[in-house]
Amino acid sequence: MFVHWETVSAIAAAKVVAIIRSATAEHAVRVGAEIIGAGLPVVEVSLTTPGGLDAIRSLSEVEDGRLIGAGTVLDETTARLAILAGAKFLVCPTVVPEVIATGNRYGVPVLPGAQTPTEIVRALELGAALVKLFPAAHLGPDYLRGVRAALPQVGFVPTGGVDAGNAADWLAAGAVALGVGGALTADPVADNVKALREAVA
């Protein structure tokens, strides 16, 4: 059983949040199991996946140190349902005060998506555990480096366009962890995980 600070520590230790967006819950569970089996224990199931809550529930049933979260959480109701399904962290594409409040109410860290310094500070003020820098590909590691010069207290998780080829650059710029989706979930999953793990080592 993870508590808030342990979850944040586990995300930082893993350095990667593997993001799954699938056509079915069954596919999400299969890919999630492959990713975890290949050595990445932190997995976010996007709720754009049909049956995404069922996938979170299935992946969460195994207690082996894995950390399953819910992504694309847009409102308070969905946040609560995701927590009930077993999500240990919540991720939003934007700063949603109700989602952050719900997560904090139940001891579940929230990673809201933000881009500008104003959005980032607002997320912190509302109680964000970490900030998902999104979409990262359009900003680049130099942007993160510049923002961190002014806001060094923020734990950033760049997401969107992050892969094995640029992972080291993002970490060097000060990212706490990286959100990686398509670069991991396409076949062969195990090979993708291996390449990413080598890049962040």
Residue 199, judged by CB atoms within 10 A of its CB (0-12, 13-18, 19+), counts as buried
Question: Given this model, what pLDDT does residue 82 score?
Answer: 98
> If we measure between CA atoms, which residue out of 55, 51, 54 comes closest to residue 33?
55
Cα 182–Cα 184–Cα 187 angle in degrees, nearest 5: 95
Q: Tens of pLDDT along 158-181? A: 999 999 999 999 999 999 999 999
The domains of the chain, with CATH numbers, are 4-200 (3.20.20.70)
Q: Is 132 a catalytic residue?
A: yes
Which residues lie closer than 8 Å to 69 by C-beta, 6 or more apart? 17, 42, 43, 44, 45, 56, 87, 88, 89, 90, 91
d(CA 164, CA 176): 16
Nearest to 106 by CA among 114, 116, 98: 98
pTM over 0.85: yes
**Half-sphere exposure (Cβ direction) of 142: Cα atoms closer than 13 Å:** 1
Percent with pLDDT over 90 in the chain: 97
CA distance 86 to 107: 12
Instruction: Check if the beta carbon of residue 41 is closer than 8 Å to that of residue 67.
Output: yes
pLDDT of 1: 65
- What digits encode the pLDDT tens for the residues 23-40? 999 999 999 999 999 999
**Confidence class for position 3, pLDDT limits 50, 70, 90:** confident
Is there a contact between 193 and 184 (Cβ–Cβ < 8 Å)? yes
Question: Is 44 assigned a catalytic role?
Answer: yes
Q: Treating both helix axes as pointing N-terminal to C-terminal, what angle do 52-60 and 76-85 enclose, rounded to 10 degrees?
A: 30
pLDDT digits (tens, 9 = 90+) for 55-108: 999 999 999 999 999 999 999 999 999 999 999 999 999 999 999 999 999 999
Which of 15, 34, 44, 88 is catalytic? The answer is 44
Q: Under the phi-then-psi rule, with left for phi > 0, alpha for psi from -120 to 50, and beta for the rest, what region is 189?
A: alpha
At residue 112, the 3 state secondary structure works out as coil
pLDDT at 122 (0 to 100): 98
